[in-house]
Amino acid sequence: MKKQHYLKLIQKHFPKLKFQKAKLLTHGWDHDVIILDNEILFRFPKTKDYIKNFKDDLSLMDFLNEKTTLQIPKYTYIAKDKSFAGYKIIKGKLFKRWVFEKISGFNRKKIAKQIAQFLNELHGIPLSKIREFHVKEYNSIKELKSMQKNFKKKARQKLTLQERKVADKYFETCLKLDMKDVKKVFIHADIHADNMVVKHDFSALAGVFDFSDKHIGDPAIDFAHLWNYGPKFVKEVYKHYKGSKDDELLYRAKLYFYWDAFGIMIESFKDIYDCEFEEGYRMFKGLKLPTKRHI
């Protein structure tokens, strides 16, 4: 059993660590997680690529802890072979839409400013330093072409004729993006409701975690999931953002917002990921292409 296997590893490497309850989470695409007493979180990479890169990731997180004012994971439990590691959980409530709705206008602006500051810090790190940790560089158009190819293989067949036209129009629109003047930066790449927590009193953002998807790429990707909170919030973050602001950054972010819908539909056909086609399909049903290139 996977849970018992992980617990034996934890007890082997950290024999003095005592706990009463352990919870296993396997829904992550890149890591399995064990949570001990809701206090300590251990991450176990689950694919060859993530296992290979985990040592660099641990060193990168040490480096980032010196660069960010917002709380991020700080690994204090590291296996001797660096095959897995754990950190004290950043306490708070996941920044879900229903939580956002409970937050006052004043505190929403405060959180928007915090997110902008976090992005300013990440995006401002010299790429020469980031490359020391073997962080990969991605080409958005190349990734979109790959996604389109994989989508056509199986997922597209499950859509109605009209839905296929919508999907085709989405990829057609994305592939027309002009990326030649976009300055690539170091990005988190998953600034998502499941990876941010607010304080229990809703007064501020408590922290950001899960840097598994980090890479060097288009800064607009870090604005993509912020559209979950509506255009007013996105623009409030953008107002305080000090990075390179090309005219189409928010337009691209709105298009990137729908990547997950296609990604989940595609990955649902693979055994390695715990996701359902219907989850991505529900997201796809909400697809509305932006009509203006300057948002």
Question: CB within 8 A of 130, min separation 6: which ones?
Answer: 60, 186, 216
The residue type of 222 is D
Q: Which of 25, 57, 88 is the last residue of a domain?
A: 88
Residue 290 counted as domain residue: no
* 4: exposed, middle or buried (Cβ count in 10 Å: 0-12, 13-18, 19+): exposed
The model's pTM is 0.92
Domain assignment of residue 293, yes or no = no
Residue 294: what pLDDT?
66
Note whether 78 and 102 are same-domain residues. no
Rounded Cα distance between 50 and 212, Å, is 8
Residues 137 and 270 in one domain: yes
Look at residue 271 in the predicted model and tell me its pLDDT.
66
Question: What was the pLDDT predicted at 228?
Answer: 94
* Crossing angle (nearest 10°) for helices 105-123 and 231-240: 50
Domain end call among 56, 88, 120: 88
Backbone angles phi, psi at 80, to 5 degrees: -55, -35
Quote the number of domains for the chain: 2
Domain with residue 251: its CATH number is: 3.90.1200.10
Average pLDDT by stretches of 10, the chain with 295 residues: 92 94 84 94 87 91 96 96 95 97 97 98 98 95 95 94 96 93 96 96 96 95 96 97 93 94 89 76 90 71
CA distance 282 to 279: 5
Residues 69 and 113 in one domain: no
As a whole number of angstroms, the distance between CA 225 and CA 257 comes to 6
Residue 2 host element (H or E): helix 2-13
